[in-house]
Structure 1
Amino acid sequence: MNVTPGLFDIQVNGFAGIDFNDENIDAGKLDIALEAMLNTGVTRCLPTLITASAPVLMRRFQALDRAVAESPLAALMVPGYHLEGPFLNPAEGYAGCHPAEAMTPPDIRLIDEIEKGLSRPILLVTCAPEFDEGMAFINALADKGKCVAVGHSNVGYAQLEWAARAGVRLSTHLGNGIPQVLPKLDNTLQAQLSCDTLYASFIADGLHIPPFALKNLLRAKTFARSILVTDAISAAACAHSGMYNFAGEQVERTDDGSVRLPGASNLAGSSLTLDRAVRNLVTWNIASFAQAIEMATTHPQQLMQQALAVHKRFLPQSEVVWDDDNTVVECHIAHEIIRRYR
């Protein structure tokens, strides 16, 4: 048996049949997702909303925030939100499953408008820094105490150095959100790997990144700067393949666990759970259990600590009990939530 801190997923779009991007989400639906996340050892998370037009984003955030404000589980598990888009690169290969037509140049006013009246702040923003407004936007986010990430971006080395000095601290799902074919060495993946001040998050499902490639990426970034995320959608923790909702679209989960828009080749989020990501790294002989746990607990907490402190979002202590097969058997948050699964 092992006892660890609770896992912290900083990129999760939905879970257990519930889409966090659904304008009809309510506290009951949210609690279904959060309860299922507890079963996988996740005790804190940043529900993630993706690219949409400004009016749609406003409605989605308002609906999600109402659900969070009314949920007893969210009071303990959800300190704030992750906005991935719409300030991304719309070029083919970089946009991924995000609607390119809804992408827009960076504009801090949209962040201000979205946050009006919310009970929780946007703590993490993923953007593409390469646009003219990018550096001013990053500076403004950092001044507001946000954690800033680069993702779905073609930012080069020189621009990234500037962006890091301006406030970028994370590469979102590094190795993904980029085209299948890039210049051999002078490319954004190499630039982000070489930037020692950045953390990087990785989707360790064996589909987004082949295990042998993930091993190389983790070596380059180092374990100390690496974070495990799921990028899960509503298909995660569901027993069956089939069609699931994701941000106004129907996506298909196939038997291998991959999720795509019907007929598309690129992935649309994942069906990964964070405990599975931990086990995968151990099974693939990439990391020890202790190293994998740090990537899902200590490292995301370190990344988000400044934003949490600025916004006065304090998380209760939590712990997870694992059996000898690295399966979650108990989950505790403070003295208020105790779950025993086996």
Structure 2
Amino acid sequence: MMENNSQTVIHAVHYKTGQNVEVKFDGNIISEVNPAPKLQKEVPFIAPGLIDLQINGYVGIDFNTLPIKPEEIRKVTKELWKQGVTTYFPTIITNSPEKMREALKSIREASQKFAEVEEAIGGIHLEGPFISPEDGPRGAHRQEYVRSPDWDLFCTFKEAAGGKIKMITLSPEWENASEFIKKCTNDGILVSIGHTAASPEKIQEAVKAGARMSTHLGNGAHPMLPRHPNYIWEQLANDDLASSIIADGFHLPDSVLKVILQLKGNKTILVSDSVSLTGMLPGEYSLHIGGKVVLTPEGRLHMAESPGLLAGSVQTQLWGINHLLKRGLCHLNSAIDLAALNPSLLLHLPVAHISQGNPADFILFYQKKTKDIELFKTFKNGKVVYENKEVSKHVSSYYDELLGSSDSTFKTSS
């Protein structure tokens, strides 16, 4: 990276084309992207910053355990930079209306207090309380707070969030679901079907009303289903529904990931669905939702009393990308798109293209022989917000050559 007056220039390999490019940006906006000659030494790949539509918590901080301090949300934001995530959706799940409003208000206040939080949060994802009350589809959501869609109640959530709710997961099995979905859609909110026991007919009605995504398809479901029809087949077959997936290696087997990827194509979206124990050491923990759980050294989180039942995901978008790459389920460009371009297009976020006029939100990384990638740098609004010092040691000589100086250095924001 080199700086010329107010302009910053980066030489890298574009993740989609495989071509060397020169990316210039003034402040927080990309000003030019031009072809560049191939250099003697290896240069990093460049790709858009990752987007995660489902973050329940991270590094011991839970967005659903009150009280939530603005400083904690700021910490999550900065920790996610270390995973290449530059835009994320804090996810508030089923709880009492009072506690849901308090959690939503906390995120709004953190955005008002800290500019980096405001810039990183693409919107709030409301996962519940309008979901299935049935065991299995309900998942870890507390049954006593599950209820049918209620527009007046939802408006109190919107007010508490300061208009930041941009996505809602609900089940269309309720009688008034279609009317509620239409109102959300007219209000510019993405409706996603999830935690559902809905019939195929109800799912079709929901799509006609405006639903456009399935939340973590294949999870939050009954352990046993009819061969056909069932709500998973119905969502898979519907061309108007995008599907988010958790590719942590535990929530879905590779065969299911492969089927979803092949059927949904560029309407597949990678999410982490991370809970507060993401980034924590293995051991036994007690969660506000789920009770006693065990985090294994392999990265699997399960219920302490029922090891066969998962208690959430403790992995990140970067982990999911690497799982898909190492298992041969995706090529590099497709794996990145699942966590950047595809969610950006679905939610109309202007951050997933390395092109003139777009925000300078991107990552630099290297691809290892094992196919997985190693994050090098994360840029947010044109500033380096994370740098992998170990990787920097190995590549500093390249930048010395590029700049023609032995004392060239990286400039990293605090």
TM-score band (shorter)?
Answer: over 0.9
- Counterpart among 264, 280, 298 of residue 323 in structure 2: 280
2:302 counterpart of 1:255: no
Alignment check: 8 A CA contact 2:131 2:138 kept = yes
2:172 counterpart of 1:125: no
One-letter code of the match for 2:235? Q
Report the equivalent of 1:236.
278
Report the equivalent of 2:257.
214
Report the equivalent of 2:332.
289
Alignment check: 8 A CA contact 1:21 1:49 kept = yes
2:123 counterpart of 1:80: yes
Identity between Structure 1 and Structure 2 (%): 29
Structure 1: runs of 5 or more not aligned: 309-314
Report the equivalent of 1:312.
none
SS at match of 2:367: coil
Alignment check: 8 A CA contact 1:36 1:237 kept = no
Report the equivalent of 2:215.
172
Report the equivalent of 2:37.
none
One-letter code of the match for 1:339? Y
Measured in 2, the distance between the counterparts of 1:103 and 1:251 equals 23
Report the equivalent of 1:70.
113
SS at match of 1:323: strand
SS at match of 2:348: helix
Q: Which of structures 1 and 2 has the larger relative contact order (alpha carbons within 8 angstroms, sep 6+)?
A: 1
Measured in 2, the distance between the counterparts of 1:246 and 1:49 equals 13
SS at match of 2:386: strand
- Counterpart among 202, 207, 217 of residue 159 in structure 1: 202
Alignment check: 8 A CA contact 1:21 1:64 kept = no
Report the equivalent of 1:90.
133
Measured in 2, the distance between the counterparts of 1:239 and 1:316 equals 35
Q: Which moved more, 1:113-122 or 1:45-54?
A: 113-122
2:383 counterpart of 1:341: no
Q: 1:211: Cα distance to partner?
A: 1.4
Report the equivalent of 1:100.
143
- Structure with larger Rg: 2
Q: 1:247: Cα distance to partner?
A: 4.7
One-letter code of the match for 2:124? Y
Q: Which moved more, 1:198-207 or 1:242-251?
A: 242-251
Deviations 1:110-159 (A, max 9, x none): 12101225345110000001110111110111111100000010222222
2:373 counterpart of 1:332: no
One-letter code of the match for 2:183? A
Q: Which moved more, 1:198-207 or 1:32-41?
A: 32-41
Report the equivalent of 1:271.
314
Alignment check: 8 A CA contact 2:185 2:191 kept = yes
SS at match of 2:83: coil
SS at match of 1:131: coil
Measured in 2, the distance between the counterparts of 1:108 and 1:16 equals 34
One-letter code of the match for 1:187? N
Alignment check: 8 A CA contact 1:279 1:289 kept = no
CA RMSD of aligned residues (A): 2.0
Q: 1:212: Cα distance to partner?
A: 2.1
Measured in 2, the distance between the counterparts of 1:79 and 1:216 equals 29
One-letter code of the match for 1:86? P
Q: 1:272: Cα distance to partner?
A: 1.0
One-letter code of the match for 1:259? L
Q: 1:248: Cα distance to partner?
A: 8.3
Alignment check: 8 A CA contact 1:25 1:67 kept = no
Structure 2: runs of 5 or more not aligned: 1-43, 352-357, 390-414
Alignment check: 8 A CA contact 1:123 1:307 kept = no
Quickly say closer, same or farther: Cα 1:332–1:244, change in 2 above 3 A: farther
One-letter code of the match for 1:171? S
Q: Which moved more, 1:6-15 or 1:263-272?
A: 263-272
SS at match of 1:168: coil
Q: Which moved more, 1:247-256 or 1:94-103?
A: 247-256
Measured in 1, the distance between the counterparts of 2:212 and 2:302 equals 29
One-letter code of the match for 2:149? P
One-letter code of the match for 1:327? E
Alignment check: 8 A CA contact 1:30 1:71 kept = no
Under a length normalisation based on structure 1, what TM-score does the superposition of the two structures give? 0.92
Measured in 2, the distance between the counterparts of 1:220 and 1:130 equals 24
Quickly say closer, same or farther: Cα 1:204–1:236, change in 2 above 3 A: same
Q: 1:269: Cα distance to partner?
A: 1.9
2:267 counterpart of 1:225: yes
